[in-house]
Amino acid sequence: MAWQFILATCSRYSGDRTWGVLLLKYWLTGKINVLLHPNYMWLANVAGFVLLALSLLKSVQLLQIVTQRSARTYFRSLPTMQHFSLFPPGWSSALLLAVAVFGLQFTPQPFASEVALNRGVTDTLAMTRSQPQSFRSTTSPEERSLIDWIRTLDVYPEPDAYTGQQASVEGFVIHPPELPDNYLMISRFVITCCAADTYPVGLPVKLEGSRSTYPPDIWLRVKGSMITETLNGQRQLTIQASQLEEIEEPENPYEY
Amino acid sequence: MSQLNNALTLFFSLMVEAIPFLLIGVVFSSALLLFVDERKLVAAMPRSPLLGALAGSLVGFLFPVCECGNVPVARRLIVQGAPASVAIGFLLAAPTVNPIVFWATWTAFRDQPEIVFLRIGFSLLIATIVGWVFSAQADLRPLLQPTVAQSMSAPQGRLGRRSRRKPVQSTEPASELLQSGTFLLNSSGQPMRMEAVGMQAALAASSITTKPLGDRLQMMLDNVVQELRELGGVLILGSAIAATVQVAIPREVILSLGQGPITSILAMMLLAWVVSICSTVDSFFALSFASTFTSGSLLAFLVFGPMVDVKNIGLLLSVFRTRAIVYLFALAAQLTFLLTLIVNLYVS
């Protein structure tokens, strides 16, 4: 009877345990960067430990019971279990386990240009979005990151005010269909809480030749100077690129 | 292929963000269900219908339970003689008006604090109004399921006198489950509960705070594991729906639906009802719609969702008759719609 019992134990609590393992795996492999804002990572890590502890505690208890009583009594008591629930008994555990096992196989990928186009890239932070936590107007232009530029624009949107300033920003390439062939968009995703609320921001980059040299989704460091261009009937701050350098995709793809 | 990849990344990010809050919610609700004696609470409730409804709505701060835990608690409140206004106020507000849900909503919407505060405010307002309306029914029994009604001996009202009376044991099948649990404990003198044997049903029938501490801790652990497993399943479904909607439905469709002041509210209320996601984690679900839907509709989702959803109906049917549930839902839905429409038209 004991083996049957251990089997029951394992299947019963493996859902919780596997989710614990999965949460800790995201942490240890750094993939948590793709999923969450750093402020909330500790929550996920602690939850991983708690889930593991819970399932261990339950398993130890059940094994103690094996040594004390016959398993038959245990199984006789099983059919009386009843809980108000959406699912038939056991389905929920099975679903949890299946999804967690799948999660262990699956590597989360940071979003790319396709999602950015679908969500609409802008050079403004929408009204509902993260307001600048710290705004350093003293930063010299070439030290501003892409998101710093967007925040600066947010405070003072007149593009002419920045003409001639030097820019050096990093981001991934988007080819927005509405821009002419010698423009690409350099962009980053901004995250507030988790990947579900990421949204892209970006600035147009004016190239010497065709953008096909720089395919979508590669990461670039763009150096150049700021100009004002009229794109789709809108005056927009644009980087006139003087130097484009391909870089590695950063481990943490989001900006905050 | 990359569509699928994006949907999965979204799905796992929602899960990873929501699981810690689900865990906190489940642990708190289990602990408080077992360590707070609601009979004393019932005795302390104000007798005026309006104040009673308000007090009932605020009890959620003492019982941070999500909507899956609050129906059994509301049922115990009714059985132990709480007036209708208190019980209904609690039923509607407790899943939202509590510290854990506040924290989770704050985490998700820290950039739009108005959503966090309006969520709490509207839930409180609606719960109080509906509780007040229901207090017009002095004797709740015609609205209750016969089994619950039988376990209440006298009409509502004289709270002070009723509270001193011993609570009446429920005669429904739930109490048999409780007995089977006791049998397991007695047969060997040690805590032998391996599972929550009809945990919530048993809790609904009697107060548990008289049991020894060790037993209570054991039951708490069982309740945590069991609720985690069940609500985790619901969370998976909810997150899967949210991720699919975001990736699979063309942006134009969502935008046209989500930007209309009326259509967006109706769509989110329908979604809230269908998705049945736990109130401790539903703000993360709503967050994924934050860029495309009106603030009013997000509020509608966050206020209406915890009050009514598919899974809740089954729970409510264990307490109320169908007629009462229809009244409850209709009132709550109309109030939610009205309030969030005001937000859409005049505030944002």
Contacts with A202 (C-beta within 8 Å, 6 or more apart), sequence order: A116, A121, A122, A123, A146, A171, A174, A185, A186, A187, A188
Residue B6 is nearest to which of A47, A115, A120, comparing CB atoms?
Answer: A115
Cross-chain residue pair B112–A112, CB shorter than 8 Å: no
Contact A169, A146 (CB under 8 A): yes
Q: DSSP 3-state assignment of A236? A: strand
Measured between beta carbons, the chain A residues lying within 8 angstroms of B290 are 128, 197
The values of phi and psi at residue A157, to 5°, are -80, -5
pLDDT in tens, B161-210: 333 334 444 444 443 334 333 333 334 343 333 333 344 444 444 555 66
For residue A63, the chain B residue with the least C-alpha distance is: B194
- For residue range A124-134, list pLDDT tens digits in order: 554 334 444 44
Closest CA to B230 of B284, B276, B193: B276
For A117, name the nearest residue in chain B, comparing CA atoms only: B251
Cα–Cα distances (Å) from B200 to A242, B73, B176, B282, B321, in that order, read 68, 9, 13, 23, 19
Taking CA–CA distances from B197, the nearest residue in chain A reads A81
Pairing label, strands A183-190, A234-247: unpaired
Q: What is the mean pLDDT of residues B149-155?
A: 60
Mutate to test the interface with A, among B5, B182, B184, B194 (most CBs of A within 10 A): B194
Distance CA(A191)–CA(A200), nearest Å, equals: 9
Residue B336 backbone class (left: φ over 0; alpha: ψ -120 to 50; beta: rest) = alpha
CA angle, residues A202, A206, A212, in degrees to nearest 5: 90
DSSP for B214-265, written as a single string: HHHHHHHHHHHHHHHHHHHHHHHHHHHHHHHHHHHS-HHHHHHHHHSHHHHH
What pLDDT does B340 receive?
94
Domain range for B78: 2-347
Domains and CATH numbers, chain A: 2-105 (no CATH), 113-255 (2.40.50)
For B278-306, what is each residue's pLDDT tens digit? 787 788 878 878 877 889 999 999 999 88
CA distances from B225 to A56, A134, B113, B222, B230 (A): 11, 42, 33, 5, 9
3-state secondary structure of B73: helix
Q: Nearest Cα to A63, choosing from A137, A10, A128?
A: A10
- On the question of pLDDT at B60 being above 90, the answer is no
Token pair of A57, please?
């505690």
Question: Which residues lie across from B241 on neighbouring strands?
Answer: none
DSSP A240: E
Chain A: give the shortest CA distance to residue B125, in Å.
25
pLDDT digits (tens, 9 = 90+) for A17-44: 888 899 999 988 888 888 888 888 888 9
CB nearest B230 (choices: A34, A87, A118)? A87
Q: Does A129 touch chain B (CB under 8 A)?
A: yes
C-alpha to C-alpha distance for B223 and B219, rounded to whole angstroms = 6
Tell me how crowded residue A115 is: count the other CB atoms within 10 A of its CB: 22
Residues β-bridged to residue A226: A239
Q: Does A201 touch chain B (CB under 8 A)?
A: no
pLDDT in tens, A68-110: 655 555 544 443 334 445 566 677 788 888 899 899 988 888 8
Per-residue confidence band for B334, with pLDDT thresholds at 50, 70 and 90:
very high
Supply the pLDDT for residue B169: 42
CB A83 within 8 A of CB B199: yes
**Contact assessment for residue B92 and residue B130, using Cβ atoms and an 8 Å cutoff:** yes
Domain count, chain B: 1
Mutate to test the interface with A, among B16, B180, B225, B311 (most CBs of A within 10 A): B16
Average pLDDT, chain B: 75
